A and B are shown apart, each in its own frame.
Chain A
Amino acid sequence: IMARPLLLPLVLLAALGVTSASKSVLVLLQNVNTADKYSKFFGSLRDYGFDVSVKGVKDSTLKLKEYGTWLYDDLVLFAPQTEGFGGKIDRQVILDFVDSGHNVLMALNSDASESMRNLAAEFGIDVDDRGSKVYDHFSHATLNGKEDHTLIAGGNIVDVPVMVGGPYKEPVLFRGIASVIPGDAELATVALGAPSTSYSHAPKQAMLEPPSLMVGSSISLVTAVQARNNARVVVAGSLEMFTDDFFDAVVTVNGVSTHTANWAFTVTLARWAFQDRGVLVASNMRHHLLGSDEQPWGYRVNDDVEFLVDVVEVDGGVPKPFAADDIQLEFIMLNPYIRQPLQHDGNGTFSLRFKVPDVYGVFKYYIDYAHCGYSYIKLTHQVPVRPFKHNEYERFLVCAYPYYASAISIMVGFFALGFFYLYNK
């Protein structure tokens, strides 16, 4: 019974254990000769233990999968303009790659192709029309003395250190295309949001009347998606933000000269995307009656029980105890009868003691932890709660003494009467 809920984390843990030594990353560039532009980014990834192989997007030897085995753990798509892929890669292969738990980092720009746009849409991100750019006439940056209204510097970095690092004092430079995520998106997070004064517009196209632009903070510049199988996808609207130029740039924003945070931001985000950060592994789920270490088949109503689970956070391949006070445990039969946060002991063991409700049925323990930036923890474990057995009820109740008395008195009376009737002649 335990096996199924534990399977996923275990598989993940195994995967991490095996591959954390060197996770292989395939980078597809528009032109393989431009790899130098991103040398610092790739260098940092290599420093973190990634095995980065760079190839051209039209390379005819490309393949992600061989004999049913994925050759890479992560895919980087730095080829926004490409319409198709070389070799044996196509959109469906990339989707299968993600659906089997692997990660994709894709960067676009204003000339992003239709196929890239569709790929982003598959991950739940709508990218703006081809040719459009994000403009901001207020918080743009001046680079090398050239004022550029499309060089956004006032982006709002999401306050999730595990995903993007920080907090950053310097701005993250961005030049590229806007995207939006649906209002009801559950899986997507805006890692870098546009300033409220920005808008997206394609200068070569006629403005619609009335204008229907992507405006302000509804624009997402960099979007992070964590699929339900914990595969991660990051879609950045700007390819340039990963370049050495932007890493090293000194820009003037509103008259203040500053370095950029691009290097730290992009590398941290890439590590997050490649499941090198923010990975939670829950294991060793167990529960028992208070005063017994054995895990029972089920409980009786009103039993006092304890539930425990170990959660570790894996950072750079190293597990360390996770600490949070917002992991909730639910005890559900149709409705949650118990919903309480788990207590942690500092060593990664989360536990809760509670009294089983006075209702019998097939309950299940349920943890659905979806903290932004961390991988999801979803555990279910079924445990039946039975009513009292026929010999477990209380006996000789005080309030029943009148009934006992009446029953005994009738028996005595019957016996006396019978005796009297039979022998009193």
Chain B
Amino acid sequence: MRLYAKLAAASKYLALTGICVLAFSVRLFSIVKYESVIHEFDPYFNYRVTQFLTKEGFYEMWNWFDDRTWYPLGRVIGGTVYPGLIFTAGTIYRILHFFHVPIHVQEVCVLTAPLFSAFCALACYGLVSQARSHGAGLLAAFFVAIVPSYISRSVAGSFDNEGVAIFALVNVFYWFVKTVNSGSLADAVVLVASYGYMVMSWGGYSFIINLLPLYCLACIFFGRLNGRLYVAFAPLVALGTAISCSIPVVGFNAVLMSEHFGAFFAFIVLHVALLVSYVRRMLSTKHFVILASMVLTVAIALGALAASVVVAYVAKSPTLGWTGRSMTLLDPTYASRFVPIIASVSEHQPPQWSSYIMDLHMLVMLAPAGILACLHRLTDASLFLVLYGLTAVYFSGVMIRLMLVLAPAVCCLSAVALSDLMYVLCGSMRCWKPRFTFSTANDSATAAGEGGGEGASKAPPTPGAAPSPAAPSTKDAVAPSTPDEPTSVKKKTRSRVPSKAAASAAGSKLYALPLLVCGALLGMILVILGLYVVHCIHASADMYSSPSIVLQSPRRDGGVHVFDDFREAYAWLRHNTHPDAKVASWWDYGYQTTAMANRTVIVDNNTWNTSHIATVGRAMSSSEAKAWSIYRALDVEYVFVVFGGLVGYPSDDINKFLWMVRIGGGVYPEIKEPDYLTPEGDYRVDARGTKTMLNSLMYKLSYYDFADESQLSTGQRGVDRVRGYLIGKLNVKLNYFEEVFTSQHWMMRIYRVRDQPLRDPTSRAGKKGKAANRRG
């Protein structure tokens, strides 16, 4: 028996190691298929800050005022960034270099997210083994290691906050549940520290600071209040708030914004509830009732007063004290009505139902069963899992980005469900095997002990029905094995013997499933798990590994066509423009421009100043002359647009243009969206497009000289392959801008804002053209 336990432990650690390796290596497809580069947009900013950190040191980064973004406003990087990811990567870099591992900071950044997804698998294992059992924990770790939703944000190169934040999130939950189970102050300290790391890493910490109070209130409501919960929750609120306050990007928001009020409320309620239970223990029932009525009267009066003050404070703010992003979560229509800049981001859109299947695969089906399984044998920890799952489902339905928060929850719940199912099936099989040699009653009792212990036994009173509570006798017997202690496996093995005895003593009849059914079900589970693995590998390899700065398209001969236009254009800017030149583009490309081209940008992906972005949107939507004066006022020397019409790259600036119009129009009322739409309300750039549209700078910069080039590729002048029709105005003339660079596939076109003319010829001399032609 002892040998078995040791073997079990060893195989557990072996499995965990394997899962970690799997989690890390499944995310390396992007390096294998492409190269070791930073992906997408935001990671470039993080990469740049990490570079700065490794060069200049911690304090310089903390105090960094960046004069190369948001010209001329600048950006206080240290105070506006969630530094967790950057510090993490910087620390890894430092440690490696301390041991003389000469690795470039870019490789560290590329591999940080895969590394932390391995950690996340461990954290999930911890969380579920606290909530249920080690077997379920292993399953959860396995699920989360390869769940596509999480892979999508943590492939190698995806150096984004979410890469470490999901680990941090699950880690906080693990330590919280552990503290709730153990009541240990040491665990509570680790919990506060891990919460601090979470706040440093991601704005999503507000999910935690609202979920935990919710859980706390639920515990009080369900009568599960105890000292262990207090040890877990109260220090977290007090010290966690203090820690959040000292992170500049959060600062006083931690006590001023409505996101955090729930925690304070639960904190107060927790104390009141504990006080009440204490007083109730001290007094007789009669005295208690008298006291309660007295206190309630006073408390209601005081509470009303306090509530009115808080309400008055909150109502003062137009968003009721919530940040725009939080408002979007609570009221999904909020952003589309009031904050176009949030609504314009594709990852802030609600997901389609198919993306649940795509990103979570069979876990979508298993998770509801997991909720049932958790509720079926409710412990403090499983209640937490249920609440986490339910809230995450809601948030993921609002914003596609928050699928990421849902993924670990779904993995944990599915693991609980599947492990319960497996225990029932395996238990049944084990009791069928010895059937012919031992007595039936004993065996079925064993099955019940196993099955009931894992909470999904098919109990006889309702044969064939959904999982019902285990028989009272077995429940008592298995009670010690509920995961109040982290070492529940050992206890469980010990508890089997009494459970058998108890079951047989009570003489209850529990029937095991037929062997055939068990076998078939187990086979099906294996097949489904196999399908899940296949799907996840496919998702990782084919869907989520593209770095989006390098694009590939398959050729007819089986090879791939590589579009490396973005890096080509950024390199051109880096090598051919003055180091102090200002480059304007739509904000999507701001981070990449500063990181890859090392040039000052006007706006970037940190959309903190709407009016500045609106200025750029206004310039793009205006006529050439007006745009010229706007750009001149901003000292802009180069403007670039991303154009996909030649090769059919759909996410180009023309397709984003309506958002520029909307955001520009939100600040500058002279820009009106209907001016850019056909009378039928369509957005078109063909002959039916409006005059304003065809005269806008965006149209001109995109389609300048396009007609002749498209004739070469499509055989017809001016056919746009994204829009699929003939563009509205073929011969575009530029007077105030001059083309300086167009990348190989025309995906990026760079223009120079012409200088003011040296001379001002009169209209008589104007036969030859306007200001532009007369530069020296």
Contact = CB atoms under 8 A, between A and B. Distances in A.
Interface of A: 1, 4, 95-96, 98-101, 117-118, 121-126, 181-182, 185-188, 225, 227-229, 231, 298, 332-334, 360-364, 382, 384, 386-387, 389-391
Given A95-B774, A382-B580, A126 B63 contact: no
B337 interface: no
Nearest to B759: A227
Given A4-B580, A99-B774, A99-B775, A362 B759 contact: no
Nearest to A332: B72
Contact of B759 (A187, A364, A389): A187
A118 B768 CA distance: 11
A362 B72 contact: yes
Interface in B62-108: 62-63, 65, 67, 71-74, 76, 78-79
Contacts of A364: 72, 635
B324 interface: no
Given A4-B580, A95-B774, A361-B72, A124 B761 contact: yes
B776 interface: yes
Contacts of B74: 360-362, 384, 386
Contacts of B760: 124, 182, 185-188
B-side interface mostly: loop
The winner among B73, B580, B761 for most chain A CB atoms within 10 A is: B761
B186 interface: no
B76 A387 contact: yes
B625 to A, nearest CB: 15
Contact of A125 (B72, B635, B762): B762
Contacts of A99: 758-759, 774-776
B670 to A, nearest CB: 19
A124 B762 contact: yes
Nearest to A124: B760
Nearest to A380: B635
A251 B79 CA distance: 79
B764 A118 contact: yes
B759 A4 contact: no
Contacts of B635: 364
B762 A126 contact: yes
Contact of B67 (A4, A95, A298): A298
Nearest to B767: A118
Nearest 9 CB-CB pairs, A to B? A99-B776, A386-B65, A384-B67, A121-B765, A121-B764, A389-B63, A362-B72, A124-B760, A362-B67
User: Could you say which of A100, A227, A361 has the most chain B C-beta atoms within 10 Å of its C-beta?
Assistant: A361
A4 B755 CA distance: 15
A124 B248 CA distance: 56
A98 B765 CA distance: 16
B130 to A, nearest CB: 29
Contacts of B63: 386, 389-390
B577 interface: no
Contacts of B78: 390
21 contacts: A96-B776, A99-B775, A118-B765, A122-B759, A122-B761, A122-B765, A122-B774, A123-B759, A124-B761, A124-B762, A187-B759, A187-B760, A229-B776, A298-B67, A334-B73, A361-B72, A362-B73, A363-B72, A382-B67, A389-B63, A390-B63
A122 B758 CA distance: 11
Given A101-B776, A387-B65, A391-B59, 11 more contacts: A121-B762, A121-B765, A122-B761, A122-B774, A182-B762, A228-B757, A229-B776, A334-B72, A360-B74, A360-B76, A361-B72
Interface in B374-421: none
Interface string B742-764: 00000000000000111111101
Contacts of A227: 758-759
B281 interface: no
A227 B755 CA distance: 13
Contacts of A390: 62-63, 78, 248
Nearest to B760: A124
A361 B600 CA distance: 13
Nearest to A119: B765
B555 interface: no
Interface string B299-341: 0000000000000000000000000000000000000000000
B83 to A, nearest CB: 12
Contacts of B73: 333-334, 361-362
Interface string B571-600: 000000010100000000000000000000
B765 to A, nearest CB: 4
Given A96-B776, A122-B765, A360-B65, A228 B72 contact: no
A117 to B, nearest CB: 8
A283 B580 CA distance: 20
Contacts of A362: 67, 71-74
Nearest to A96: B776
Contacts of B65: 298, 360, 384, 386-387
B201 to A, nearest CB: 19
A227 to B, nearest CB: 5
Nearest to B72: A362
Interface in B635-684: 635
B321 to A, nearest CB: 23
Contacts of A122: 759, 761, 765, 774
Contacts of B71: 362
Contacts of A117: 764
Contacts of A124: 759-762
A95 B774 CA distance: 9
A389 B761 CA distance: 51
Contacts of B759: 98-99, 122-124, 187, 225, 227-228
A125 B74 CA distance: 43
Nearest to B615: A334
Contacts of B764: 117-118, 121, 126
A216 B764 CA distance: 22
A363 to B, nearest CB: 7
Given A364-B72, A384-B74, A390-B78, A121 B580 contact: no
Contacts of B757: 228
A98 B757 CA distance: 12
A228 B774 contact: no
A389 B77 CA distance: 11
A362 B76 CA distance: 11
A100 to B, nearest CB: 6
Q: Give the one of B72, B78, B79 with max A CB within 10 A.
A: B72
Contacts of A389: 63
Contacts of A188: 760
Interface in B522-580: 578, 580
Contacts of A334: 72-73
A254 to B, nearest CB: 35
A111 B764 CA distance: 18
A277 B599 CA distance: 40
B404 to A, nearest CB: 31
Nearest to A98: B759
Contacts of A391: 59
Contact of B578 (A4, A121, A363, A387): A4
B762 A228 contact: no
B72 A333 contact: yes
A229 B457 CA distance: 90
Contacts of B248: 390
A254 B762 CA distance: 37
B423 to A, nearest CB: 45
A228 B756 contact: yes
Contacts of B758: 98-99, 227-229, 231
A130 to B, nearest CB: 13
Interface string B53-64: 000000100110
A124 B760 CA distance: 5
